[in-house]
Amino acid sequence: MYSLTVRDHVMIAHTLPDPFFGPAQGMHGATLVIEATWRREQLGPHAVVMDIGEASRQLAEVLDPLRYANLDESPVFAGRLSTTEAVAGHVAQSLAERAGEDIAGVGVVVREHPDAWVAHDVDLRA
Amino acid sequence: MYSLTVRDHVMIAHTLPDPFFGPAQGMHGATLVIEATWRREQLGPHAVVMDIGEASRQLAEVLDPLRYANLDESPVFAGRLSTTEAVAGHVAQSLAERAGEDIAGVGVVVREHPDAWVAHDVDLRA
Amino acid sequence: MYSLTVRDHVMIAHTLPDPFFGPAQGMHGATLVIEATWRREQLGPHAVVMDIGEASRQLAEVLDPLRYANLDESPVFAGRLSTTEAVAGHVAQSLAERAGEDIAGVGVVVREHPDAWVAHDVDLRA
Amino acid sequence: MYSLTVRDHVMIAHTLPDPFFGPAQGMHGATLVIEATWRREQLGPHAVVMDIGEASRQLAEVLDPLRYANLDESPVFAGRLSTTEAVAGHVAQSLAERAGEDIAGVGVVVREHPDAWVAHDVDLRA
Amino acid sequence: MYSLTVRDHVMIAHTLPDPFFGPAQGMHGATLVIEATWRREQLGPHAVVMDIGEASRQLAEVLDPLRYANLDESPVFAGRLSTTEAVAGHVAQSLAERAGEDIAGVGVVVREHPDAWVAHDVDLRA
Amino acid sequence: MYSLTVRDHVMIAHTLPDPFFGPAQGMHGATLVIEATWRREQLGPHAVVMDIGEASRQLAEVLDPLRYANLDESPVFAGRLSTTEAVAGHVAQSLAERAGEDIAGVGVVVREHPDAWVAHDVDLRA
């Protein structure tokens, strides 16, 4: 299996309005560093997983609505919690929808601070 | 699949008393940076893999006996070599024992210097 | 010259309400990773710049009011812009006020994303 | 599953002579940071995945012909494109050929700049 | 003193045709990760060292001729060695020429691999 | 001012036998990642601060006695505490003694874990 990963980031604000989240219930924010990975069984005719410029564009297209955003006002998270896991799920699903048919899977890591990160992986085989 | 990773570290001394280990046979030490990952098929009611504070506490509970420790005197490694792999195995197994029933697996990466690290993964499905 | 640096982080929201800041005028946020440095000409009796636990406590004391905070509502930045530079200046000045008389200077680096960071340095000699 | 990873790097030049590669068609170069991983179901008698010195030597043996090399003149990539994916594939296959019978798989990550990396994984079970 | 740093990178090829450089005499390459710093005694009216977008643009303007370049054919290094130090000097001098009158100094770090980097600093006070 | 930095590491054990050090009084250890910097006003005939191979060799020569060492038994720290600051001071002084006459200063950073590091700087001008 081969894979290509590109990295980008967004700087967001949000609340997590549930007592479960303790001090993170109020308005706060994060720099979310996103690593997006595309997997493929065999390389294509140019000996790459996919065009790296296209990979970066697809990731940017998904992230643009989140840049400098207050996630409490984002339609993406309307009616649900914008946890880091939810962001990872949204980005991975959005990239999976855009993936070419040779792509076996898409994975997303979202780093929220030096000591914590989450991931979501979508298997596109089957 | 979703996952959450938290990071902590311990500063340990130990010997690896077997000629196999060459210059590492004598008393030396390491800063072991531990990345612990919990995996889960679907997110729970708060849209997280698990409470990140609880994740950090479980990791700290497992690591506390190793902080500023001489592993040669640690009951954890009595009668066996305290290689980085053995530390990774111990931490991953200890976290697996504490894992909730929704957790599909636990993985641990232990970084011993900028150019070397080990990992151990425990699959909790089945 | 000797120095000791410790690292911590805060996850903040804020607005930068001036057209100068373009897309950062609205509510957004950041993980600010703060590296605080204390400098000293000669080491003290325990061969350290200062007690590392005390260094971490002083930094935490300064950062605690900023953890999970909306800087727009923080008294620290009342009436002024809470730019990353302003945060660095506030943290460095606050640490300088707490510094022992052997400390020659205090420096603070604030990293806001992988490709940008600011610093402020306070010289305490003179 | 256990794994051991060691890291090394090479500084190479090459062309990617196909319009697909845009500005990378001409002679340019890269520092390729290579992370090589060996996986094993159970640890061996010394409680390690494999001797870390042997791991580093095997990786160096594979990388030596690429150090300070112009990949356009390297027999490894004669008649084919030396993309980062192709380098990852070559290194992983070369390590897989050298792997002991207890090794369940070999993985290679090749980082080409802070925001992009590729990987290739070889499963040796079956 | 305040400072702002932004980071970018270029992927270059070059030769270092002097026996002094041993295996680096032939055609090889590097990913050069460049950190450019602007220093200023006091913050300006927007509480920043300078506009971060303008900082990134100035750095990109200086780096654009070096992106995917063979430095042996670059007019910047005509008749001289394109060592990492020479690149750092060129970038720092070029940024210094563009610096506003409030800027006290410009510093550039160029990282060529995980274990080696160079820097050049230009003091603009005089 | 130009500078060159190279990085290496050692894995040491030691005690810090003074109540001041709390849990670090007993036998424990650290991976010490050392960044050594040489500064020079102007570049020499080969457009470098110094030969990078020579820089690495000088650093290795100073670090070799500390590799896999119990610092309690090292003549370098006989009769004194082997704090990270003391290690930084020893390495910087040792490199300063070896420095060529064109070198304006030597600096050493010693990283002991992801959230703490120390530095020592020796000015060789005058």
pLDDT in tens, E67-119: 999 999 999 999 999 999 999 999 999 999 999 999 999 999 999 999 999 99
Query: Which chain A residues touch D113 with a CB distance below 8 Å?
Result: none
Query: Which chain F residues touch C48 with a CB distance below 8 Å?
Result: 83, 85
pLDDT score, position B74: 98
- Point out which residues pair with A110 in neighbouring strands: A34, A118
Query: Which chain B residues touch F114 with a CB distance below 8 Å?
Result: 7, 9, 33
Kindly state whether F125 is in contact with chain C, defined as any CB-CB distance less than 8 angstroms: no
End-to-end CA distance of chain C: give it in Å, rounded.
16
Band of the pLDDT at F106, cuts 50, 70, 90?
Answer: very high
Using alpha carbons, list the distances in angstroms from residue B97 to B53, B55, B107, B124.
18, 13, 13, 10
pLDDT score, position E126: 72
Using alpha carbons, list the distances in angstroms from residue D124 to A40, B91, D110.
18, 27, 20
Band of the pLDDT at D126, cuts 50, 70, 90?
Answer: confident
Contact C23 A67 (CB under 8 A): yes
CA-closest candidate to residue B108, choices B24, B8, B2? B8
Using alpha carbons, list the distances in angstroms from residue A69 to A89, C23, E51.
18, 9, 20
Kindly state whether C2 is in contact with chain F, defined as any CB-CB distance less than 8 angstroms: yes
Using alpha carbons, list the distances in angstroms from residue C125 to B71, C14, E2, E41.
44, 34, 17, 17
Kindly state whether D119 is in contact with chain B, defined as any CB-CB distance less than 8 angstroms: no
Contact E119 F3 (CB under 8 A): yes
pTM across the whole model = 0.98
Which of A85, A111, A124 should one mutate to test binding to chain B, selecting the residue with the greatest count of B CBs within 10 A?
A85
Contact D68 E12 (CB under 8 A): no
pLDDT in tens, C10-26: 999 999 999 999 999 99
- Point out which residues pair with B12 in neighbouring strands: B30
CA-closest candidate to residue E11, choices B14, C121, D21, A50? D21
Band of the pLDDT at F13, cuts 50, 70, 90?
Answer: very high
Contact C86 E47 (CB under 8 A): yes
DSSP per-residue string spanning C76-125? GGTTS---HHHHHHHHHHHHHHH--TTEEEEEEEEEEETTEEEEEEEE--
Residue F126 pLDDT > 90, yes or no?
no
Cα separation, B94 vs B89, in Å, equals 8
Contact E85 F47 (CB under 8 A): yes
Residue D10 pLDDT > 80, yes or no?
yes
Cα separation, E3 vs E38, in Å, equals 5
Contact B1 A88 (CB under 8 A): no
The CA distance from E33 to the nearest CA of chain D, in Å, is: 8
Cα separation, D16 vs D28, in Å, equals 9
For residue C64, give the chain A residue with the closest CA: A23
pLDDT score, position A51: 97
Kindly state whether C33 is in contact with chain A, defined as any CB-CB distance less than 8 angstroms: yes
CA-closest candidate to residue E104, choices E58, E44, E33? E44
Cα separation, A103 vs A106, in Å, equals 8
Using alpha carbons, list the distances in angstroms from residue F89 to A106, B28, C41, F81.
48, 21, 12, 12
The CA distance from A7 to the nearest CA of chain B, in Å, is: 18
Alpha helix (H) residue ranges in B14-82? 52-63
Provide the 3-class DSSP secondary structure of residue D106.
strand
Kindly state whether C13 is in contact with chain A, defined as any CB-CB distance less than 8 angstroms: yes
Provide the 3-class DSSP secondary structure of residue B31.
strand
CA-closest candidate to residue C103, choices C121, C82, C81? C121
pLDDT in tens, C24-79: 999 999 999 999 999 999 998 899 999 999 999 999 999 999 999 999 999 999 99
Which of F2, F8, F52 lies at the smallest CB-CB distance from E120? F2
pLDDT score, position B7: 98
CA-closest candidate to residue F33, choices F103, F125, F116, F121? F116
Contact D89 A5 (CB under 8 A): no
pLDDT in tens, A62-90: 999 999 999 999 999 999 999 999 999 99
Which of A3, A46, A51 lies at the smallest CB-CB distance from D119? A3
Provide the 3-class DSSP secondary structure of residue A85.
helix
**CATH T-level fold of A2-123:** Tetrahydropterin Synthase; Chain A (3.30.479)
pLDDT score, position C126: 72
Please report where in the chains the tokens 């935490």 appear, as a residue.
C60
Residue B27 pLDDT > 80, yes or no?
yes
Main-chain phi, psi angles of D123, to 5 degrees: -90, 120
With touching defined as 3 or more inter-chain CB pairs under 8 Å, the answer for chains C and B is: no
Chains with at least 3 CB pairs less than 8 angstroms from chain F? B, C, E
pLDDT in tens, F25-46: 999 999 999 999 999 999 988 9
The CA distance from D86 to the nearest CA of chain A, in Å, is: 6
CB atoms closer than 10 angstroms to residue E45: 8
On average, the pLDDT of chain A sits at 97
C101 burial (CB, 10 Å; 0-12 / 13-18 / 19+) is: exposed
pLDDT in tens, A14-62: 999 999 999 999 999 999 999 999 999 999 889 999 999 999 999 999 9
Query: Which chain A residues touch D124 with a CB distance below 8 Å?
Result: none
Band of the pLDDT at A126, cuts 50, 70, 90?
Answer: confident
Band of the pLDDT at B126, cuts 50, 70, 90?
Answer: confident
Contact E28 D11 (CB under 8 A): yes
Kindly state whether D23 is in contact with chain E, defined as any CB-CB distance less than 8 angstroms: yes
Which of D80, D85, D115 lies at the smallest CB-CB distance from A2? D85
Kindly state whether D52 is in contact with chain B, defined as any CB-CB distance less than 8 angstroms: yes
Query: Residues B4-15: what's their mean pLDDT?
Result: 98
Band of the pLDDT at B109, cuts 50, 70, 90?
Answer: very high
Which of E48, E109, E111 should one mutate to test binding to chain C, selecting the residue with the greatest count of C CBs within 10 A?
E48
Q: How many CA atoms lie within 13 A of B120 on its CB side?
A: 22
pLDDT in tens, D12-64: 999 999 999 999 999 999 999 999 999 999 998 899 999 999 999 999 999 99
Q: Which residue ranges make up each domain of chain C? A: 2-123
Which of A83, A119, A121 lies at the smallest CB-CB distance from B47? A83
Number of residues that this document lists for chain E: 126
Contact C30 A30 (CB under 8 A): yes
On average, the pLDDT of chain B sits at 97
Kindly state whether E114 is in contact with chain D, defined as any CB-CB distance less than 8 angstroms: yes
Cα separation, A77 vs F4, in Å, equals 48
